[in-house]
Amino acid sequence: MATKALSVDRVVNVTVNLQPLAASRRNFGVLLIAGPSSVISPAERIRTYTGIDGVAADFGVTAPEYLAAELFFSQSPRPAILQIGRWVKTASPAQLAGGILTAEEMAMSRWSVITDGSLVISVGGVETALEDLDFSAATNLNAVAAVIDAKAAGAGANCTFDGERFALTSKATGAEATLNYCEDAENGTPLAAMLKMTRATGLAPQDGHDAESLKACAVELADRGDWYGFAVADADVPVDDHLAVAQYLQAAPKSRIYAATVTDTRVLDSAYADDLASRAKALKLSRCFVCYSANPYAAISAIGRAFTVNFSANRSTITLKFKQLPSVEAEGLTESQANTLAAKRCNVFAAYNNDTAILQEGVMSGDAWFDEIHGTDWLQNAVQTELWNLLYQSKTKIPQTNSGVNQLIACIENVMEQAVNNALVAPGTWNGDGFGQIERGEYLPKGYYVYSEPIELQAQSEREQRKAPPIQCAIKLAGAIHSVDVAINVNR
């Protein structure tokens, strides 16, 4: 065989073009609970959990974040994802976290032989040498941290061990509080590397953080995650603070909802109008879900049930009315109190005289049911994402012709079929203004109608900007039956 040969590409040239991965739709089952506990630092801000065990491991079983998460995960079926975010309710200190220690590095045989340990810490820009650190009496690393803490206190810092790593925190709080990496002192046994608090082994130092309002926390967390629902693990939030967050989420460009619980019994009084439910209703906050209960986190349980909906499944959409709130005690109400809550668009887990209890009514503070907001938010995102993927993944352009517009319409109709499949949309009579070929009072046999004007009617200025003609959709929500009237006529 010849030592030189021509490439087969000269005759047969084959290339493989991989299509880019499609953009994912949003997950409308993610709740973010903001809490004031210091477990999550202001720099980290958010952690994600798939079960209550992870929350318990981080927060213990008495923290408000755990109590709220327990109700969320107690629902049946159980929701899949929960995020917990840090609310810097009070000014926080600066922090320096060391690297995670290995089992060998945690062995007490390495530490108990040290009687002259030393290191230099930097607090607020001032370096202080900690010397003569004696660990000979220490039986565990918490005791080692206590020895360091006793010396660090004079320099304005505290030292702790959390089972995995050592950490320093400043006594000072607020944005002016700072810490820096540790270094070895000139004398004694060097500890900076053993503690894993050097530049080469530790995490980046975090400055202190000024206290923030609940609204400022929500704004910050909105930029940190793709959560859909927001709630607070704090039983002492003023009505004005609740409303500030709800109004922010109402105005935010990304669709989200806010859930809050009213424990003040004055909400049961029709003459009282300064409660959260009354004020949220007056503001017509369609993205605010308010629930009355003696349990300050009852609304989170309701959201946990709603967030189990899988919009890709058949007949999967639900109404929140009639649902259970596990671990929440049902409220015993008079007819007058129940009517007052309904008038204020305040949900409640109510006991009935047939030994049952249900969540009622499943409404938002504005003029909408919870499932309408949840479902249409999903629908908006699904249409937006699929149209994006059509334009993004096409190997050739989508032409600015009737054929190209029909591709867009077909893409939208595919999502509408999914909405029919999950029972968000159903056939019915269109009672809105007419457009295209549909008029008020006409029947939508598919539950939806999608229309676009012919490309020939598009203004030249719009065409030159390469815009598609406006596409209009009519959908008929499937709704839900919440009450029944039956007349039984008896003849003798």
Instruction: Please report how many Cα atoms fall inside a 13 Å half-sphere around the Cα of residue 58, on the Cβ side.
Output: 24
| Mean pLDDT value across the chain | 94
Q: What is the Cα–Cα distance from 51 to 73, expressed in whole angstroms?
A: 7
Helix (H, G, I), strand (E, B) or coil at 352: strand
As a whole number, mean pLDDT of residues 446-457 equals 93
| pLDDT tens-digit map of 364-375 | 999 999 999 999
pLDDT at 472: 94
As a whole number, mean pLDDT of residues 212-224 equals 95
The two tokens of residue 442 are 């006409």
| pLDDT tens-digit map of 173-199 | 999 999 999 998 888 999 999 999 999
Q: What is the Cα–Cα distance from 231 to 260, expressed in whole angstroms?
A: 6
Confidence label for 20 from pLDDT (cuts 50, 70 and 90): confident
Strands 448-452 and 443-444: unpaired
| pLDDT tens-digit map of 267-284 | 999 999 999 999 999 999
Distance of CA 348 to the CA centre of its chain: 23
Distance of CA 426 to the CA centre of its chain: 30
pLDDT at 7: 87
Domain boundaries, the chain: 30-88+213-368, 93-190, 394-475
Q: What is the Cα–Cα distance from 381 to 25, expressed in whole angstroms?
A: 7
pLDDT at 186: 84
* 409-435 exposure pattern, b = at least 16 Cβ within 10 A, e = fewer: bebbeebbebbbbbbbbbeeebeeeee
| pLDDT tens-digit map of 105-124 | 999 999 999 999 999 999 99
Question: Long-range contacts made by residues 131-137, C-beta under 8 angstroms, separation at least 24?
Answer: 131/185, 131/187, 131/188, 132/188, 133/188, 133/191, 135/111, 136/112
Helix (H, G, I), strand (E, B) or coil at 166: strand
Is the confidence at residue 2, as pLDDT, over 80?
no
What are the phi and psi torsion angles at 179 (to 5°)?
-135, 160
Q: What is the Cα–Cα distance from 429 to 189, expressed in whole angstroms?
A: 83
CB 82 within 8 A of CB 72: yes
Q: What is the Cα–Cα distance from 344 to 279, expressed in whole angstroms?
A: 9
As a whole number, mean pLDDT of residues 133-150 equals 94
pLDDT at 432: 92
Which residue did the predictor score with more confidence, 13 or 261?
A: 261
Q: What is the Cα–Cα distance from 436 to 453, expressed in whole angstroms?
A: 8
Is the confidence at residue 1, as pLDDT, over 70?
no
Q: What is the Cα–Cα distance from 1 to 21, expressed in whole angstroms?
A: 44
What are the phi and psi torsion angles at 148 (to 5°)?
-65, -40
pLDDT at 389: 94
pTM across the whole model: 0.89
pLDDT at 13: 86
As a whole number, mean pLDDT of residues 211-224 equals 95
Give the residue among 102, 100, 87 at the shortest CA–CA distance from 38. Answer: 87
The two tokens of residue 123 are 């607090």
pLDDT at 126: 92
- Fold held by 93-190: Immunoglobulin-like (2.60.40)
| pLDDT tens-digit map of 73-108 | 999 999 999 999 999 999 999 999 999 999 999 999
Percent of the chain, pLDDT > 90? 89
Is the confidence at residue 230, as pLDDT, over 90?
yes
Nearest 10 degrees: Cα torsion 73, 87, 229, 29 = -40
Helix (H, G, I), strand (E, B) or coil at 120: strand
As a whole number, mean pLDDT of residues 314-325 equals 95
Is the confidence at residue 357, as pLDDT, over 70?
yes
At which residue do the structure tokens 């408000």 appear?
Answer: 64
Is the confidence at residue 225, as pLDDT, over 90?
no
